[in-house]
Structure 1
Amino acid sequence: GVELTRVETQSPDSLWVRFPFSLNDAASSRSHTLIEVQFESQNFRDGIEVASFVRSTDSEEGVFQRVDADTEDATELVDSSTARVSLAALDGSLLQEVVMQSVFTPNSDGINDELTVQFTLLKVLEERPLEVMFYDLTGRLVGEGESATATGTGKVGEQTFTWDGRDLSGNVVAPGIYVCRIKVEADDKDNESMRLVHVAY
């Protein structure tokens, strides 16, 4: 294979590459060269279409031809010529890759004062109610995480919440062990993930 040159653009949802050779130089007038481009991407939802466009370097800037993958297969060499992503079935929750500190110290010394909760939300088709709550070991609600988006809803992708260690009245909670509950409301049932966090100061 040939390593392609990536073209730097201002499009965060697109990948632009340039072939270092003419694709159809060796092809007859009634045939076309078959090209396979392999790439990796991170997808969080089923059915996302990977659209492709090609342009000759001899054509006008910005004039592209769309690669049509809906009506016919490009080649019999692959099992499927679909351009839509199909995610593997999940064994568990829509909430995946939960990362957070096990200990934080909300004593206002500027070091580890805040708890950061990061996770990935998968497969939801639209924004869903999303919350991160904190409970003491008796089950009493003591705090609420603040979303980076501050909307109270989440869509597929990476999510970040923070907690400053204060209760619902604005007071710093006592040192001890607390339960972090992450919950997303889904159509069939709510999905939850639990973690323990230690407050120390």
Structure 2
Amino acid sequence: MTAGITTLASAASGTSRSSTTSDAATLAGNFDQFLTLLTTQLRNQNPLDPLDTNQFTQQLVQFASVEQQLKSNDRLDALLSASKASSSASAAGLIGQTVTSSGITAPLANGAAAWTLNAARAATRATLTIADAKGNVVATQTKALAAGTQTFTWDGRNSTGMLASDGTYTLKVQAFDATGQKVTVDTKVTGVISSVDVSGSDPILTIDGKTVPLSSVQAIGAASGG
């Protein structure tokens, strides 16, 4: 019978991974079964070999812990929803504002991701490394860069030629001129926000036709130097 109680407790622990109403209902049902089994055991225990009360206490504590975790998950979900709503409202208020974004990240969608590069001077060799949101390098390209502002567009294919999944990717540039001197390549994007997409976890801003995540914004107003 004790094994049955332990099984019920373990099943209830598994429900802590979700904060839905059905999880709470399952926990309540399991707890009722637990109490029924506990009462039955106490009524039918051998007086000469009573059941271990420490085990009962541990299982009750386990149920209480699971219940508290479910409540914590509910509160966290509410906080995340409120945070997203606040972030979306703040992003919508930026429409029409001039902002400066770091420009190192860009969303890949429909097989294309674009970055704006501004080379201090011409570079005969530039290595462009593209990494996913987890920091894993997915593609590397080597090309020459002209001096000034230009656009680099990635076709979304990784080093094996397969199309990468949509998402946010980061670009790192190392460039050198004909004499082997390092060339500074700025990826900042400055422009007026025309629209905001709040469908994802991080609002995406459209700046002069280019899309950048809200988290990459460095300044609001006039562009900063460098």
Q: TM-score, normalised by structure 2?
A: 0.30
Bigger helix share: 2
Higher relative contact order (CA 8 A, sep 6+): 2
State the TM-score, normalized to the length of structure 1: 0.33
